[in-house]
Amino acid sequence: MHHVMAADPILELARPSVLRNPYPAYARLRENRPVFWHELLGSWVLTRHSDCLAVLTDSTRFASDWRRAGEDIPSSLLSIQMIDPPEHTAVRHLLLDGFRAQDRQALHHGLEHQARDMLARLARLSSFDFVGELAEPLALRFVTAFLGVPAPDPAWFVPMSRAIVDGMDAGLWPEKHEPAVAARAELAQFTGGWLADPPENGLVAHVAQEAAGTDVQPDVLRNSLRVVLHAGYESVSRLLGNAAVAMLTTTGAAAAFRSAPRAAAVDELIRYDAPVQADARVCVTDTELAGVTVRAGDPVTLFLGAANHDPLRFAHPTELRLDRAPNPHLGFGRGAHACLGASMAIRLTGTVLGILAGEYPDARAVAEPEHRRNLTLRGLDRFEVSLRPRQTGRRN
């Protein structure tokens, strides 16, 4: 007798063919088991839009701060993402004020200029890797320009950033946990260095100056700047890559992008294939959720990528409709911990794709995109693209 093991529905998401397109697998979960306890993760798994939204917007019952469920979290890991209101409010306001104090128009124009130059240079090549040559270097310039700090050496920063991303999947692959903790600590030491010797201008200068008058703990501030650097780099570079795949592999997307309101088009690209596919909370009070009782202390994993394709919320969810409105996707989260960088990320992405759709009519994929083996953050390893006219006919 052979025992045929049913494939685990979560581990299955890491199979190469599913990594390429996880949405059919999400649809099966959403239809068959929209709320279930996953033994290996030790967590509830949610895939419906309404359930994910309910958890995100209820920070009274569902915590980001695991100390509220009795866990022991070392202070080296406490950041804006890992503390809840009321403690969370002061650091969130400090960072938000810091962003608002920047000359966003000037920063954006500088980045637009850099993106245009990079694309013009890349257009001379017969083809290039959109991820390594454009999305990643541009994302690093973008986030460091806002922070007002010099860009770290990519040879040091990128592997560490990857280790942190890999660690987000440690529920499935426990060996990814320790390297991520070490990388977070090393990166926080680096961002702490900014605070010890702040630059003259920019977000870091602002928060370094203003922090003294607030209740924000120095460790929390340093760790939160680490989150900004890391989230800004990883989410933005992955968004640019995922969006480029959607644009260059969907017939008519460039024309649709040119005629749609730009922010709506970017929102749809995020809904369609978001960089942040999963998020987590811990329940702090026994709660009825979609017909089950979630107990205090139970972790809850939200598959935002599945929620973003929920047909109960989005008509024709598997279609890229760049003028979709309204578009209540959960790609930036929602509620108290919703993304701080959303408007800046939308603007940068709109600009880069606007240049691509408007000035490079011959832009096309020349190879299949290659996805990284990450489930929490979805993104590409490589995507070979050409901006030049296809060679037709043979010259003799």
106-145: contacts with ligand HEM (CB under 6 A): 143
Min dist. Cβ of residue 339 to ligand HEM (A): 3
Min dist. Cβ of residue 340 to ligand HEM (A): 4
The verdict on 356 binding ligand HEM (CB under 6 A) reads no
- Rounded to an integer, what distance in angstroms lies between the CA atom of residue 153 and that of residue 136? 13
> Given the complex with ligand HEM, which of 150 and 389 has the nearer CB atom?
150
How far are the Cα atoms of 70, 288, 332 from residue 283, in angstroms, in the given order?
11, 11, 21
Min dist. Cβ of residue 209 to ligand HEM (A): 19
> Given the complex with ligand HEM, which of 56 and 118 has the nearer CB atom?
56
Query: Cβ distance 187 to 225 under 8 Å?
Result: no
Residues 6+ apart with CB under 8 A from 130: 240, 241, 244, 380, 383, 384, 385
What phi, psi does 67 have (nearest 5°)? Answer: -65, -25
317-336: contacts with ligand HEM (CB under 6 A): 331-333
Burial class (CB in 10 A: 0-12, 13-18, 19+), 326: exposed
247-276: contacts with ligand HEM (CB under 6 A): 270, 274-276
- Rounded to an integer, what distance in angstroms lies between the CA atom of residue 246 and that of residue 380? 12
67: amino acid identity, one letter: R
- Rounded to an integer, what distance in angstroms lies between the CA atom of residue 135 and that of residue 131? 5
Residue whose beta carbon is closest to ligand HEM: 341
Min dist. Cβ of residue 50 to ligand HEM (A): 17
Min dist. Cβ of residue 83 to ligand HEM (A): 8
Site of tokens 């202070």: 75
Of these, 43, 47, 59, 64, which contacts ligand HEM (CB under 6 A)?
64
Of these, 81, 114, 214, 249, which contacts ligand HEM (CB under 6 A)?
81
Query: Cβ distance 186 to 70 under 8 Å?
Result: no
> Given the complex with ligand HEM, which of 135 and 163 has the nearer CB atom?
135
Of these, 208, 216, 221, 340, which contacts ligand HEM (CB under 6 A)?
340
Min dist. Cβ of residue 87 to ligand HEM (A): 11
Of these, 22, 202, 317, 341, which contacts ligand HEM (CB under 6 A)?
341
From the list 136, 152, 139, 167, the residue with the least C-alpha distance to 382 is 136
Number of residues that bind ligand HEM (CB under 6 A): 26
Of these, 216, 227, 300, 375, which contacts ligand HEM (CB under 6 A)?
227
The verdict on 305 binding ligand HEM (CB under 6 A) reads no
Min dist. Cβ of residue 214 to ligand HEM (A): 15
Min dist. Cβ of residue 255 to ligand HEM (A): 24
Min dist. Cβ of residue 285 to ligand HEM (A): 19
Min dist. Cβ of residue 253 to ligand HEM (A): 18
- Per-residue binding string, ligand HEM, 148-187, x by CB under 6 A, is ----------------------------------------
The verdict on 299 binding ligand HEM (CB under 6 A) reads no
The verdict on 63 binding ligand HEM (CB under 6 A) reads no
Q: Which residues bind ligand HEM (CB under 6 A)?
A: 64, 80-81, 92, 143, 227-228, 231-232, 235-236, 239, 270, 274-276, 279, 331-333, 337, 339-341, 344-345
